[in-house]
């Protein structure tokens, strides 16, 4: 069964179908069918980033190696039906509980990378592989990726006229958890999450994102993330257009959702959100379709001070 809504742009946070014909204006929530069998790669784990995971540092004491959540290996992708290559060999490993940030000039391929991870139909992977929780992501359609625990928040969250936020969230929850939770039960599940993202319960009765301010839309995205309890949240410029207070709310909401198991991959131009989150993490600089440098928050500060030229010349 599928419910179709019109929307100005595709989103993949919630059980999206593959919008074959018109990716820009169709959006479906589907009630899941049994998952197809997926081939488990059971590959060895390889660290692709140049910096040790903070959780792996242990002053000489033996520590358990962290569990790899996402491993991207030499990923190349073109715009569908063209030979225009945007991703030119991306390598990235994200372990459970880590926060990774991608920065980079406009047009360097950051959003494309995020979209390729969730299986956006505009792009075709030509080389490399993506392993998520031990499974080959490239063999899953976008809906399966969402059920597997990937969440993506887009730069401009879409409005869905005629569908209340509450219904939308409950359908999303049902699809992800493969259950049929009652509205009352769901409301009880939702209340602490609303609290965590500082969202007024009155927003539940309003149509999804309709008339929401920029900050409210972004918090609503985080509410969806909270409801779906995703393992990896990919946040593309979630801080764009937010005032300082809204930014602080977003940071608090994200912190409230962090567990030792789930991870965040965020794309941003500004280190402010990183400062507000104030947790150790990795910063990657993307340049012309590859991750050129990896470091910690000081790399973001370097960019803030000297621009990307500073990085390129280093
Ligand atoms: N669907 C598309 N059709 C045509 N060009 C695209 C498409 N997606 C991305 N591009 C191009 O790929 C490059 C990288 O874009 P993008 O990933 O959005 O960069 P960033 O998010 O780093 O600003 C840009 O030159 C952009 O115009
Ligand atoms: Mg972008």
Token digits for 50?
């140049």
Superfamily of domain 2-33+67-313 in the CATH hierarchy: P-loop containing nucleotide triphosphate hydrolases (3.40.50.300)
294 CB within 6 A, ligand 1: no
What gap in Å lies between CA 147 and CA 177, rounded to an integer? 8
Which atom of ligand 1 is found nearest the CA of 108?
Answer: 22
**Ligand 1 pocket member 106 (CB < 6 A):** yes
Is 238 in contact with 221 (CB distance < 8 Å)?
yes
- pLDDT (tens digit, 9 = 90+) per residue, 130-175? 999 999 999 999 999 998 999 998 767 888 899 999 999 999 899 8
pTM over 0.95: no
Strands 263-267 and 99-103: parallel
Verify whether ligand 1 is closer than 6 Å to residue 153 (CB atom). Answer: no
- Whether the per-residue pLDDT at 24 is higher than 50: the answer is no
Which atom of ligand 1 is nearest the CA belonging to 106?
A: 23
The pLDDT tens digits for 167-208 are 999 998 998 888 999 999 999 999 988 887 778 888 899 999
The residue to which tokens 């789930």 are assigned: 262
Q: From ligand 1's centre to the CA of 152, what distance in Å?
A: 17
Ligand nearest to the CA of 81: 1
Buried b (16+ CB within 10 A) or exposed e, 84-121: eebbbebbbbbbbbbbbbbbbbeebbbbbbbbbbbbbe
Distance 148 CA to ligand 2 centre (A): 24
Q: Where are the domains of the chain?
A: 2-33+67-313
Q: Which of 107, 266, 292 to mutate to test the pocket of ligand 1 (most atoms within 8 A of CB)?
A: 107
Ligand 2 centre to CA of 181 (Å) is 36
């Amino acid at each position: 069964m599928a419910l179709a809504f019109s929307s100005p742009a595709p989103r993949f946070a919630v059980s999206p179908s593959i919008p074959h014909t018109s990716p820009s204006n169709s959006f479906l929530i589907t009630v899941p069918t049994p998952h197809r069998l997926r081939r488990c790669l059971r590959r060895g784990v390889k660290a692709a980033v140049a910096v040790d995971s903070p959780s792996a540092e242990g002053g000489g004491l033996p520590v358990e190696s962290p569990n790899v959540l996402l491993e991207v290996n030499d990923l190349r992708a073109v715009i569908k039906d063209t030979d225009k290559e945007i991703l030119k060999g991306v390598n990235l490993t994200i372990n459970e509980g880590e926060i990774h940030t991608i920065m980079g000039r406009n047009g360097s391929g950051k959003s494309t990378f995020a979209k390729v991870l969730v299986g956006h139909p505009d792009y075709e992977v030509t080389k490399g592989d993506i392993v998520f929780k031990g499974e080959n992501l490239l063999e899953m359609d976008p809906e399966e990726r969402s059920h597997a625990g990937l969440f993506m928040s887009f730069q401009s969250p879409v409005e869905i006229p005629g569908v209340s936020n509450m219904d939308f969230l409950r359908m999303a929850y049902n699809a992800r958890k493969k259950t049929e939770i009652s509205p009352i039960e769901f409301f009880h599940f939702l209340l602490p999450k609303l609290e965590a993202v500082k969202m007024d319960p009155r927003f539940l009765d309003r149509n999804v994102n309709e008339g929401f301010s920029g900050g409210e839309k972004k918090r609503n995205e985080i509410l969806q993330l909270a409801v779906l309890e995703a393992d990896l949240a990919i946040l593309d410029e979630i801080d764009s257009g937010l005032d300082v207070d809204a930014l602080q709310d977003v940071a608090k909401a994200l912190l409230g959702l962090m567990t030792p198991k789930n991870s965040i991959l965020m794309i941003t131009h500004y280190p402010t959100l990183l400062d507000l989150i104030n947790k150790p993490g990795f910063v990657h600089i993307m340049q012309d379709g590859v991750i050129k440098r990896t470091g910690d928050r000081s790399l973001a500060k370097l960019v803030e001070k000297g621009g990307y030229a500073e990085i390129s010349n280093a």
